């Protein structure tokens, strides 16, 4: 069966500090991978998605970036965090066709102070 991991589970970072969140998927090959942010009172917002190693599509311009160094690894980064970056970050995967359901990880709660 497939499993998706995210770490860390929670993170408190000062404004202006860097960020690195990691997501890995087990039990599947060549998945599509996604990063979402969920803010209070708002729906899930897609930030990035990837259909393969080194292939990243950005949905929302911001000070975040994503990378996919390995087939089942997806990383969300920032050089300098803003207060507005606080939120619940979710990684998800789907089969390569990309038109079926997405499966979500446990999430990372980020608080920027």
Comparing C-alpha atoms, which of 39, 20, 44 is closest to residue 87?
39
According to the binding rule CB under 8 A, does residue 106 interact with another protein? yes
Comparing C-alpha atoms, which of 50, 61, 56, 54 is closest to residue 98?
50
Q: How far apart are CA 14 and CA 81, in angstroms?
A: 7
C-beta closer to another protein: residue 30 or 57: 57
According to the binding rule CB under 8 A, does residue 109 interact with another protein? yes
- Contacts (CB under 8 A) with another protein, residues 22-41: 32, 34, 41
According to the binding rule CB under 8 A, does residue 93 interact with another protein? no
Q: How far apart are CA 51 and CA 32, in angstroms?
A: 5
According to the binding rule CB under 8 A, does residue 98 interact with another protein? yes
Q: Give the binding site for another protein (CB under 8 A).
A: 6, 32, 34, 41-44, 46, 49, 51, 57, 59, 90, 92, 98-107, 109
């Amino acid at each position: 069966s497939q499993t998706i991991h995210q770490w860390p589970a929670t993170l408190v970072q000062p404004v202006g500090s860097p960020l690195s969140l990691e997501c890995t998927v087990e039990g599947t090959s060549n998945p599509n991978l996604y990063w979402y942010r969920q803010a209070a009172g708002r729906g899930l917002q897609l930030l990035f998605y990837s259909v393969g190693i080194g292939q990243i599509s950005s949905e929302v311009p911001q000070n975040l970036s994503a990378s996919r160094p390995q087939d089942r690894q997806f990383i969300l980064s920032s050089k300098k965090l803003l207060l507005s970056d606080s939120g619940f970050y979710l990684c998800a995967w789907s089969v390569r066709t990309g038109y079926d359901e997405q499966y979500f990880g446990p999430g990372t709660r980020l608080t920027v102070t």
